[in-house]
Amino acid sequence: MTLVAGVDSSTQSCKVVVLDAGNGTLVREGRAAHPDGTEVHPDHWWRALSEAFDDAGGLADVSALSVAGQQHGMVLLDHAGNVVRPALLWNDTRSAGAAAALTDEVGAEDFVRRTGLVPVASFTITKVRWVRDHEPELADRVAAVALPHDWLTWRLRGYGPAASSPLGPDLEQLTTDRSDASGTGYWSPSAGEYDLGLFKLAFGKDAREATGNGRPGDSGSVILPRVLGPGDAAGGIHPDCFGSPAELPGLAGTGPAESGSGILLGAGAGDNAAAALGLGAQPGDVVVSVGTSGTVFAVASRAVADPSGTVAGFADASGEYLPIAVTLNAARVLSSVAGILGVDFDELSRLALGAEPGAGGVVLVPYFEGERTPNLPHAKASFHGLSIASSTRSNLARAAIEGMLCGLSGGLEALRAQGGAATRLLLIGGAVQNPAVQAIAAQVFDLPVIVPSPGEYVASGAAVQAAWAHHGSRPDWPVAVDAAPAPDFHPVIRQNYLRASNRIDPGN
């Protein structure tokens, strides 16, 4: 049996799965926590990766591994391979002003034509602009800009600061993949290459792609990771990457995969693209992920360019594209209303299923955290349609679930407005195990709804990449399904929601 491993280096933690490469069956897994915060030194991710490998029982029997990671995080390196400052993560909003400035300088339509994106504070390009403007002494030291999964892959191959890596600071060996590169704001999914003019506009320095061949390029330019294609290998894990083989169970006595032995490293991916691989998503599939925030993304056969910025036109990790819309309000809507009603999630579900579709006219517009889709950052949540007769606990519980799902359905409509095909909907995330969420999803979305079994789909998608690199073809692993609620579309739910949400003052 051939084993492959996948890593999900997320905001909160590092998760590792070891799978049977033949059928994708989980063999073992491990995890380790990441520190809280919106800026984190990458060394914390490195330690957590080692701990997660250990917790997963080591890698002695693993043939290939790939790393998926949180997107957009800015890792700045100097010529000696040192991290210049803690990485600014996707959820660090200090660069919102830089995003507005870049949009003004380039124009939203031109920006989206060139990159598929309109700048927001999440994207890497806004973070490098912020460093240029606010930390110029650090900007002067920057020799390379990488993303979280790029940096971890580079370190696993044995590169890094001379004092803590066997192969030293060879920045020309930095690699990334098209899915993660497409979230920077200076890489074009349609052209398949960096937009170096946009990078220079943001950071004030010329840039170039890493050579990857051991020969240095122009020493005066900032190095950006070489972009690998689907199924490509980045190299191999170096047995001494953690300082000593004994510190990483399973690496003692192996050599780098480039020399014909050891553990092969796949290209890696951004987290949403890896989740799409883990789910086996194909063109026409829409994935709705209900976590702290909500994401709606689809595998598409063409690049998407939305000048409104509602849909970000990313690339995926399979050679297709991954348009995505994000809502700020998802699972926390349910916990907030459950708290108001003084119930747990099970009781919230029972109450909601006791009310009729449409909740007796009660509508929750769930903008507890403001909202990104639509772009209403200062809005607040509000109940509508309350009367003496409709103000029941069951209607309030159902309105919470309907409102959360209607917010996500706005993301689906935004994807459709860009011409994307939608034939079925895959519903994932912890909150979707709630029976009421599953049943009401079949009433809100006018698509067949599939609820895959709970799993680490980002890490599993990275393992798909590992198997792809190892075998030379993308594996087709089955995905277990927990539920497929019968279609029961009630358009009145969405109609009531749209009437209520259209009353929200954009200035509030």
List residues with catalytic annotation: 271
Tokens (6 digits) for 165:
């890596």
Tokens (6 digits) for 308:
């409104």
Q: How far is CA 413 from CA 296, 297, 311, 406, 442, in A?
A: 10, 11, 10, 10, 16
Query: CA 221 to CA 213: how far, in whole Å?
Result: 17
Beta carbons within 10 angstroms of residue 506's beta carbon:
10
Residue 224 parent element (H or E):
strand 222-224
Query: CA 369 to CA 363: how far, in whole Å?
Result: 17
3-state SS string for 296-313: EEECECCCCCCCCCCCEE
Beta carbons of 230 and 318 less than 8 angstroms apart: yes
Question: Which residue do the tokens 């029976």 mark?
Answer: 435
Query: CA 80 to CA 279: how far, in whole Å?
Result: 39
Query: CA 444 to CA 278: how far, in whole Å?
Result: 25
477: three-class secondary structure by DSSP: coil
Residue whose C-alpha is closest to residue 60's, from 244, 242, 248, 243: 248
DSSP secondary structure letters along 299-367 = -BSS----TTSSSEEEE-SSSSEEEEEEES-SHHHHHHHHHHHT--HHHHHHHHHTS-TTGGG-EEE--
Whether cis (ω within 30° of 0) applies to the bond prior to 374 is yes
Query: CA 265 to CA 461: how far, in whole Å?
Result: 14
Query: CA 401 to CA 412: how far, in whole Å?
Result: 17
Question: Which residue do the tokens 């449409």 mark?
Answer: 358
Query: CA 375 to CA 327: how far, in whole Å?
Result: 9
Beta carbons of 3 and 463 less than 8 angstroms apart: no
Tokens (6 digits) for 36:
């809280």
Query: CA 282 to CA 317: how far, in whole Å?
Result: 12
Sheet strand arrangement including 449-452: 312-315, 321-327, 294-298, 285-290, 424-428, 449-452, 481-483
* CA of residue 394 relative to chain centroid, distance: 34
